[in-house]
Structure 1
Amino acid sequence: MAKPCGVCAGVRRAVETIERALVVYGPPVYARHEIIHDRHAVDELQARGAVFVDDLSAVPDGAVVVFGAHGVAEEAEHDCERRGHDVIDATCPLVLKLHKEARRLADRGYDVVVVGRAGDDEVDAIASRIPGRVHVVSHLADVERLEVADPARVAYLLQTTLGGLDTVDIVAALKHRFPRLATQDGDACSAVHDRERAALKLARRVDAVFVVGSGSAVTTRRLLEIVAASGVPTRLVENAGAIEHGNIDGLTAVGLAAGPSTPDKLVDAVVARLKMLRPVEIDVLDGVEEFVRFRLPSRLRHAGERSSPGLGGAPLAPGAALSHDR
C-alpha cells in the first residue's frame, strides 16, 4: 500500500460535517454538488437525507446548506444570505487560507494568477475573492497570453487538487516570464502531490497497481494516468467486487494507491477482497505521515467529533490533531 493512501483531511471534514448536520438538524441537508467523488459514499449520505444539487436555486428558502471542501464563489454565499439559508461552511481550511492570501496579494497591488482548472468550484471561489486583477491559467500556453499591469508585481496561487506533476511546467514558465514572481506565504496543500509521489514509488516495487476510487474523481483519474505512464500495469478499481481471480493471476505483488477523494472504507474493502481470493501480506511503504485532522465547524462540535462511519478510520490520538476553524 502507498502512503499516504485515500481520503484527505479536508474531504473527510466535509463528509463528517454533513453527517453531523443530519444528526443535529435532521434531514434534509443540502449541498452543492456531490461532497465526495465516490458513488458509494454519496449513496449512503443520500439515504440518510443529504440532497446534492447542481444549482443552489433548487434549495428551498431557509434550508440547511453545507458548503463543501472546495468552497463556493462569493456570489453563492450572498445568494444564500438573501434567501435565508442556514449555512454550515465546511470549506477546507487550506482552501480558506488561499481565499485570504488571494485578497492579501490583490490588496498589495499584485496581478494574481490562479493555476488551476478553469470552471472548477475551488478556482471560481478563489477568483471571486480577488478584488483586483485575476487570471486563471490552466495550460502552459496560457502563460504567454497573460497581460498584466506590472510584470514586477505578479503572484500565483495553486489549486489544491492539482498535483506537482500538473503544475511544475506552468510554474516554471511563470517564473521565467516574471522573474520577480511571488507566491503565497506558508505551506500549500500537498495532499494530491504526496499521493502521486507515493503511488510512483509504489509502482517501482510491484507487478501491478490497483488505483482505488471513482472514475468520476479528477484526482483519481489523474493518479491512474500517472501510474500507468510509469509502465507498470495499472487498473482502476471502483469497488471491491470488481476484483476477480483473473485480475491477480500470475501476480506476486500488487500495489494499492488511492487519491484524496477515496474513502478509507473502500480501500479497506478492496484489501478484504484480496484476502478472500489469495493469502495476503500487507506492506505499507514508507511515506509522508499525515497527522492533520480539521475540527468540525464550531456549531456542530457539541455533537462530538468522532471519526466518520462512512469514511472509516479511527480518531486521532489526543494532541495529534492540527485544528482549524472558520
Structure 2
Amino acid sequence: MKIVLAAPRGFCAGVNMAVDSLDLTLEHFGAPVYVYHEIVHNQYVVDRFKEKGAVFVESVDQVPEGSVLMFSAHGVSPEIRRAAAARNLTALDATCPLVTKVHLEAIKYAKQGYTIVLIGHQGHDEVIGTMGEAPEAIVLVEDEADVAKLQVADESKLALLTQTTLSVDDANRIIEKLRERFPSIQSPPKGDICYATQNRQDAVRTLSAEANVVVVLGSQNSSNSARLRELAADQGKRAFLVDGPDDLDRNAFCDSDTVLITAGASAPESVVQATVDWMKNEFGATVETATVREESVEFPLPKPLRQIAAAK
C-alpha cells in the first residue's frame, strides 16, 4: 500500500485561533468555561475540551449567570449576544474572521434595502448565525432547484452571500443559476468561501488522480469535511469520511491500494498521524507527502484574550 498525504490539510487559521482561544480561556478563568455550540465541528477536539472542563451548550439559558461563555468559530446572531449580556456573562468571541466578514456583508446589504440570497445548508451553525443578522432580509438557497423557485419583491435589489465551507463547484453552479435568473444580482468583490476550504478541495481534486481510495479525516457534522468526501466520490474514488482510525474497516482496503489521506479544516493532525500509523501496521504502507499549495494565514486571538496572553 502507498499513502499520499495531501497538503494542505487539517486545521485552518480560524480553527487554530478558536482552539487556542478556548485553551487560553480555560487556563486563565479555570473550569467550567461554557461554549455556545461545539467550538469547531470535530469530535476529537470537542472531547479533549470536555476533559479539560469546557461545557458545550445549545442555549444561553443553560449557562449560569455571571459565567464565562465563548462563542464558537461558526459565529452567532445578535440575539445570542443580547441573551449573553442579559445573563451578565463574560462573553468571548472565537468567531472566524472569514465568517465575521459574511455577517458584516449581510448587515451592509440589509441596511441598503437588498434581499440577500444566502447559499448554504439549512440548520448549519454558521448559517443560523448569519441569518440572525437580518432575518427579514435573508433567503436561504441550498441548491439549483431552490433558485428556480425563488420569488423576490424587487429583482433590482438582490445580493448573494455564501456559507464559508461549501463545495466550490456546487456554490459556483448555484451562483451561475442565480446570475442567469437575476443578471443584476450583487455580490461582494471577494468571494465568501474560505481559502482553506478551497485549498483542501483543490488538493483532493488534483491528488485523487494518483489514488484509488480517499480517506478524509473529519466529523460527520463538519461541512467542509463532508464536501471533501463528496468531491473524491465525484472523481470516481472509494471515499470515506471518518473521525479516526477506529472508524476504518480493514476489509475496505487492499494491499495494492494507493490511499490519499486528507483532513477537514477542523481535524487535528494527531488524528491524521494515528490513521497513517494504522495503515502502516495493517498493510505495511509507505508514505509520501504531496503539496498542492502552501498556507501561511494566521488570525490573531480575540482582543481580550490577546491582552491576557500578553500579561502571561
TM-score by length of 1: 0.86
> Given the alignment of the two structures, is residue 257 of structure 1 paired with residue 262 of structure 2, yes or no?
yes
Contact 2:107 / 2:134 at 8 angstroms: preserved in 1?
Answer: yes
Unaligned runs of 5+ in 2: none
Amino acid at match of 1:192: T
Equivalent of residue 214 in structure 1, options 208, 212, 219? 219
Contact 1:103 / 1:131 at 8 angstroms: preserved in 2?
Answer: no
Q: Which residue in the other structure is 1:150 paired with?
A: 154
Q: Which residue in the other structure is 1:138 paired with?
A: 142
Q: Which has the higher contact order (CA 8 A, sep 6+)?
A: 2
Q: Which residue in the other structure is 1:200 paired with?
A: 205
- Taking the aligned partners of 2:178 and 2:219, their CA distance within structure 1 comes to 33
Q: Map 1:64-143; keep pairs closer than 5 Å.
A: 64-130=68-134, 133-143=137-147
Query: How far off its partner does 1:125 sit?
Result: 1.7
Amino acid at match of 1:134: I
- Between stretches 185-194 and 57-66, larger displacement belongs to 185-194
> Given the alignment of the two structures, is residue 229 of structure 1 paired with residue 244 of structure 2, yes or no?
no
Query: How far off its partner does 1:199 sit?
Result: 1.1
TM-score by length of 2: 0.90
Contact 2:204 / 2:232 at 8 angstroms: preserved in 1?
Answer: yes
Q: Map 1:242-281; keep pairs closer than 5 Å.
A: 242=247, 246=251, 248-281=253-286
Amino acid at match of 1:141: A
- Between stretches 116-125 and 173-182, larger displacement belongs to 116-125
**Residue by residue, what CA displacement relative to the aligned partner does 1:262-315 show, whole Å, maximum 9, x if unpaired?**
11221122223334445554332232222111111122224549xxxxxxxxxx
Q: Which residue in the other structure is 1:29 paired with?
A: 33
* Larger fraction in strand: 2
Q: Secondary structure at the match of 2:156?
A: coil
Query: How far off its partner does 1:195 sit?
Result: 1.4
Amino acid at match of 2:214: V
> Given the alignment of the two structures, is residue 165 of structure 1 paired with residue 169 of structure 2, yes or no?
yes
Amino acid at match of 1:108: Q
- Sequence identity (%): 36
Query: How far off its partner does 1:202 sit?
Result: 1.8
- Taking the aligned partners of 2:308 and 2:111, their CA distance within structure 1 comes to 39
* Larger fraction in helix: 2
Q: Secondary structure at the match of 1:183?
A: coil
- Taking the aligned partners of 1:215 and 1:8, their CA distance within structure 2 comes to 18
- Taking the aligned partners of 1:215 and 1:101, their CA distance within structure 2 comes to 29
Amino acid at match of 2:22: I
- Between stretches 212-221 and 92-101, larger displacement belongs to 212-221
Contact 1:207 / 1:251 at 8 angstroms: preserved in 2?
Answer: no
Unaligned runs of 5+ in 1: 306-326
Q: Secondary structure at the match of 1:35?
A: coil
Taking only aligned residues, the RMSD between alpha carbons, in angstroms, comes to: 2.2
Length, aligned pairs only: 305
Cα 1:147/1:246, change in 2 over 3 Å: closer
Query: How far off its partner does 1:153 sit?
Result: 2.1
- Taking the aligned partners of 1:70 and 1:257, their CA distance within structure 2 comes to 22
Contact 1:11 / 1:69 at 8 angstroms: preserved in 2?
Answer: yes
